[in-house]
Amino acid sequence: MDLSDVRCLVVLGLRRSGRPAALLARREVPAAARVVALDEGAAPRDDTVAVLEAAGVEVLTGPAAVLPGDADVLVKSPGVPDSSAAVREAVRRGVPIWSEVEFASRFLTNPVIGITGTNGKTTTTELTGALLRDAGLPVAVGGNIGFALAAMPGEIPPGATVVAELSSFQLEHVRHFRPAVAVLLNLTPDHLDRHGTYRAYVDAKLRIFECQTPDDAALLCADDAGVLAEYEAGRLRGEARRGWFSAVDGLAQGPGGEELVAGVEGDVLWVRVRGELRRLCRRDELALRGEHNVLNSLAAAAAACAVGVSVGAAAATLRTFAGVPHRLQVAGEVGGVTYVNDSKATNVDATLKALTAYHGGVHLILGGYDKGAEFGDLAAATEGRVRQALLIGATAPRLEEAFAARAAAAGSAATPYVVCGDLPAAVQAAAAVARPGDVVLLSPACASWDQYRDYEERGEHFLELVSELRARS
């Protein structure tokens, strides 16, 4: 649909993405067209409604937030599920539905590095942004973190590269979105409460490649079973130049003999630039901890070098980039015990990856909002790695069942567990028994929405609790 033909554009959802999308629409669609902003919940408590109305946007909230009869296109914020009444009505009428990313991309002339996958998106996105920034190249980081893409047109330099973290929610309604570089880190079950099936979740992720051309690059993880399954089934669409990255020592090619663009030889990370293998740094020089971060570092370096970052500059940043808040963030040390905030680990696979960063003496805090994940494999994977599991939140009963089943099956090899209810109780229980050298790791394997607004609030509460422990000690 050509936006010049639009007579009524509707934006659904008025939070972080919806507000800039509505303002962008009012600025860019024909002046004679209506721009209507809907929020089926309560009106935002901030100045969003006043700002939008002052800009000429009609705002409808609560029961009044119904799809206008003359709607030509619906721009949907990522937080709005397809079960929304307005979305269902748009489907019934055949009104085109665009994600906020799709809408914003129509006004962004900047090259985009899009990064998706189940885990590691935020770290890889921030690291890629740092690689460009440290190399002196203009960059804007956003998408699912920080700066919404709809807030970027007209606000970022024309020559800046956009590095965007892209969730399945943002990709499920793209139509023409075309990143110059698209990165797929991994695929494991997540957000089944939203997408319904793993197939629907993965299909949304894979849309990042659909509109790419031979001038673009698609970078994929050769070590991930989920990614390989999609490759073998022929579901990796698009026409981009495909390259793979791998942390397997000495691997020379990607699947099917396709090009490996970043890898490891011995203990040295390398990246391929114009056909030549170039040394980055040693594994032990990486500032980021954990085996999963070797892959994240390779992906970020390959993406950054694809848009002009020098290998030397990339290597320097890999040695200094310490990570992002709430992802294996050291909260502090109290009585010789290290407390680590990994609140961003909102699914099982993220927690399994976090456990590779620590060995022995781990007191693992698990639980939160139930997204429909299975916990049996997680309970088994903690054996020999975790001293005790401390279970909190709405999923505590299901986690308890999983650990009890392992106790019945594995006997004394099973990981001990205790149901704590909430985060303060779990921190206190861990502190009471942890010994110098141990690690108390908040890596919940669940979303936070049962007890917190988001994972950031949960992580900040953990940091406060650790600060209180330090003050008392």
- Residues annotated as catalytic are 121, 144, 191
Distance separating alpha carbons of residues 399 and 113, to the nearest angstrom? 37
Phi-psi group of 158: left, alpha or beta (phi > 0 → left; psi -120 to 50 → alpha; rest → beta): alpha
Q: Report the run of H or E that residue 354 belongs to, with start and end.
A: helix 348-355
Give residue for tokens 């055949």.
94
The region that residue 121 occupies, defined by phi over 0 for left and psi between -120 and 50 for alpha, beta otherwise, is: alpha
- Cα–Cα distance measured from residue 95 to residue 6, given in angstroms and rounded to the nearest whole number: 12
- HSE at residue 357, side-chain half, CA atoms within 13 A, is 27
DSSP string, 431-443: HHH--TT-EEEE-
Helix and strand numbers (H, E) in the chain are 16, 20
> By the 8 A CB rule, do 156 and 110 touch?
yes
d(CA 287, CA 280): 13
Place of tokens 């992002």: 324
Specify whether the CB–CB gap between 367 and 425 falls below 8 A: no
What gap in Å lies between CA 366 and CA 323, rounded to an integer? 22
For residues 120 and 145, give the distance between their C-alpha atoms in angstroms, rounded to a whole number: 13
Whether the CB-CB separation of 222 and 248 falls below 8 Å is answered with: yes
Sheet of strand 139-143: strand arrangement:
139-143, 161-165, 112-116, 181-184, 217-221, 241-249, 260-265, 268-273, 276-282
| Pairwise CA distance, residues 122 & 128, whole Å | 10
Smallest Cα–Cα separation from 454: which of 12, 145, 128, 118? Answer: 145
Pairing of strands 161-165, 112-116: parallel
Tokens for 180, please give them: 């110059």
